[in-house]
């Protein structure tokens, strides 16, 4: 489940970017999954590439990029979790 940003507080550019992200299969998979996701960063202008960064309650990080030619995303352990694994 994605905790979406409050629509009334967003600029028109951010609303358009969020709508584009929300329409992707990547976002739908995150939103329909068991993990709870929150936005850590999002594009505030229409300049490419558009990059969205989300983090889950169980320390996963999802990055999704919309470029002129393609859209792609991946999920990986967050940096803090990866560092703890290396130390331990």
Instruction: Say how far apart CA 3 and CA 5 lie, in whole Å.
Output: 7
Q: How high is the pLDDT of residue 83?
A: 52
Structure confidence by residue, pLDDT tens digits, 40-88: 999 999 999 999 999 999 999 999 999 989 999 999 998 755 554 444 4
Strand partners, 23: none
Higher pLDDT: 9 or 73? It is 73
Please report which helix (H) or strand (E) contains residue 19, including its range: helix 12-22
pTM summary value: 0.86
Tokens 């329409």 identify what position? 23
Going from N- to C-terminal start, the domains of the chain cover: 2-87
């Amino acid at each position: 489940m994605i905790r979406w940003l409050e629509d009334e507080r967003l600029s028109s550019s951010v609303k358009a970017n969020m709508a584009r992200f929300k329409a992707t299969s990547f976002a739908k998979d995150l939103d329909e999954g068991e993990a709870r996701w929150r936005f850590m960063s999002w594009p505030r202008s229409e300049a490419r590439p558009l990059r969205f960064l989300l983090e889950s309650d169980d320390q996963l990080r999802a990055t999704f990029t919309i470029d002129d030619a393609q859209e792609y995303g991946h999920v990986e352990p967050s940096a803090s979790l990866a560092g703890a694994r290396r130390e331990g």
